[in-house]
Amino acid sequence: MDFRNKEKHMIIILMVVAIFLVDGKCLIKKFIGVPCPSCGLTRAIVAALNLNFYKSFSYHPLFWFIPIVIIIIIYGKRPLFGNKKYEIVFYISTIMIILVVYIVRMVMLFPNTVPMDYDKSSYVWKIVTFFKNII
């Protein structure tokens, strides 16, 4: 195994370890209170592993798509799909799909439906509340 393969495996291992270190909580949501585009993904994957696909889709409809994209990005040969243009189209399409799903989820579910709810224990909320109380 050459160094690049070890590096690729290390990225996967670090991603899994990071999920366990933050107890499955989103760092972005914990900091600013607003869900990130991948919010609910960890819960969705756990539900899928338990064969509860209805719950998986409700937590994050792209629970099956994002891990595949990550594997393609990490393990795919460069340029992806043998062509730099296809690689760029792949990246742009992936970003667009994720953003469209995020916008739809925010419009339909925010701020009252988990996991798309606002986290009032976030650091930004605490700072805003602190300054509101001072003024």
pTM, to two decimals: 0.74
Domain ranges of the chain: 3-128
Contacts 24+ apart (CB under 8 A), 125-129: 125/33
Distance between CA atoms of 101 and 110, rounded to whole angstroms?
13
What is the predicted pLDDT for the residue at 112?
86
pLDDT digit string (tens) for the chain, length 135 residues: 455 567 777 877 887 777 666 666 677 888 888 998 988 888 898 899 899 999 999 999 999 999 899 889 888 888 888 899 999 999 999 999 999 999 999 999 988 888 888 888 888 999 999 999 998
What is the predicted pLDDT for the residue at 107?
92
What is the predicted pLDDT for the residue at 111?
87
